[in-house]
Amino acid sequence: MIRSRKGISGFSAVIRRTDLSSLIILTVAFLMTAGTLRAAEDAIKVTAEVDKAFLTIGDPVTYTVTVEHAPDIQILSNIPAPDSDILEIKKVEDLNKKGKKTILSGKKFILTTYRLGEFILGPVTIQYRKEGLPIKSLQTNKLYLTVKSVAEGESQEDIRDVKKVVPFKWRMGKFLWTLLTLALLTAGYFLFRFLRGQKIALVPSAPPLTPEEEALLHLGELYESDLLKRGLIKAYYLRLSEILRVYFEKRYGILAVESTTFEILRALKPQHPDSALYQKIQYVLEAADLAKFAKWVPTAPEVLHLNKKSEEIVKESAPLPEQALTETPHGV
């Protein structure tokens, strides 16, 4: 958790301009203690530390939180990740080490940031319990980070002295060989382009896909993707909604890609009044909106149901063979 030193509730990170000298004193004092807290009556110790308190934009910083405790103590809390709005998490490593008398667990975060200012890594609260005793908690100290554009003591000069003039020696033979090599390379390139064009011209081009074939192809690729396995629910339904909207534009000649769900349904209503197909379209588009904007997470059966309904929309709205011969494809 990253908090501002102003302590305003509701903000994850607020940059406060403080006196640099006082910040250095606080930082050094904290690093000397390494952010370690120990319960006086229990065999448990919680530590939070960073490998450096001053860094430049883009530099990595290692933030480590560890819990060392006796085997008879049960840890009830997970170690939270820092606020990603300020610090970008590059790598996370779990720490686990079991000794004869103590158990050490924790996490190591490799972080970086591209914002200037002074930031605070908030305290980490760890809850624990001994068997038969009430729950207790320990909290680490705050950690302070200062991000600068250029490290202190580093030279900011970007203008150097002009080098001496190097005399040019004219060598006609070397020049002619270079010119000949360039001419051969150029001729070879154009010959390759010519022969490649001749080969391509002999291969008949495949007929373009119909809007229905294109939509079903893209839906199949989406179903085979690993977006859901990686937990990218919003990205999955953004793509599903985009495939159907592009299909509606090409199939019905309406503006769908940049329109809202309400506008799309209003445009499709005259073509499918009170039909089961219209209800399917409304169901799938509104469900996709919930996943995109309301952070709705569908269950596995609901995902399969939405996928099936999406395919049915494309198949049921496809024109009949005799109708397709007389229609001019939309979006061409």
Q: What pLDDT sits at residue 249?
A: 93
Angle between the N-to-C axes of helices 211-224 and 300-317, in degrees from 0 to 180, rounded to the nearest 10: 170
- Asked whether residue 114 falls in the same domain as residue 227, the answer is no
- The verdict on residue 61 lying in a domain is yes
Is it the case that residue 9 has pLDDT exceeding 80? no
- The verdict on residue 175 lying in a domain is no
- The verdict on residue 204 lying in a domain is no
Tokens of 59: 């530099």
pLDDT in tens, 37-96: 566 567 888 888 999 888 787 789 898 989 888 888 889 888 888 876 677 887 888 988
pLDDT in tens, 312-327: 999 998 887 655 555 5
- Asked whether residue 11 falls in the same domain as residue 138, the answer is yes
Q: What pLDDT sits at residue 235?
A: 93
Task: Specify the CATH number for the domain of residue 114.
Answer: 2.60.40
Q: What pLDDT sits at residue 114?
A: 75
Is it the case that residue 159 has pLDDT exceeding 60? no
Is it the case that residue 137 has pLDDT exceeding 80? yes
Cα–Cα distance between 153 and 155 in angstroms, integer?
6
- Asked whether residue 126 falls in the same domain as residue 238, the answer is no
- Asked whether residue 228 falls in the same domain as residue 116, the answer is no
- Asked whether residue 137 falls in the same domain as residue 239, the answer is no
Residue 235's identity, in one-letter code, is A
- Asked whether residue 26 falls in the same domain as residue 102, the answer is yes
Can you tell me whether residue 237 is helix, strand or coil? helix
Is it the case that residue 300 has pLDDT exceeding 60? yes
CA nearest neighbour of 219 among 316, 308, 319: 308
- The verdict on residue 157 lying in a domain is no
- Asked whether residue 18 falls in the same domain as residue 137, the answer is yes
Cα–Cα distance between 312 and 304 in angstroms, integer?
12
CA nearest neighbour of 79 among 92, 60, 61: 92
Tokens of 279: 């209800």
β-strand pairing of 143-148 with 54-56: parallel
- Asked whether residue 114 falls in the same domain as residue 217, the answer is no
What range defines the domain where residue 243 resides? 211-326
**Mean pLDDT, rounded, of the chain:** 78
Cα–Cα distance between 149 and 117 in angstroms, integer?
9
> Among the three residues 133, 148, 163, which one is the final residue of a domain in this structure?
148
Residue 252's identity, in one-letter code, is Y
- The verdict on residue 200 lying in a domain is no
For 99-248, list the strands marked E by DSSP.
103-112, 117-121, 125-130, 136-139, 143-148
CA nearest neighbour of 285 among 241, 228, 224, 235: 241
Element (H, E) at 266: helix 261-268
Tokens of 201: 């011209």
- The verdict on residue 63 lying in a domain is yes
Residue 230 binned pLDDT confidence (cut-offs 50, 70, 90): very high
Is it the case that residue 173 has pLDDT exceeding 70? yes
Is it the case that residue 296 has pLDDT exceeding 80? yes
- The verdict on residue 296 lying in a domain is yes
- The verdict on residue 199 lying in a domain is no
Number of domains in the chain: 2
Can you tell me whether residue 53 is helix, strand or coil? coil
> Among the three residues 148, 176, 201, which one is the final residue of a domain in this structure?
148
- Asked whether residue 18 falls in the same domain as residue 113, the answer is yes
Please, are residues 109 and 121 in contact by the beta-carbon 8 Å criterion? no
For the chain, list the strands marked E by DSSP.
2-3, 36-38, 44-50, 54-56, 61-69, 73-75, 88-98, 103-112, 117-121, 125-130, 136-139, 143-148
- Asked whether residue 6 falls in the same domain as residue 121, the answer is yes
Cα–Cα distance between 86 and 285 in angstroms, integer?
34
Q: What pLDDT sits at residue 21?
A: 47
pLDDT cut 90: percent of the chain above it: 27
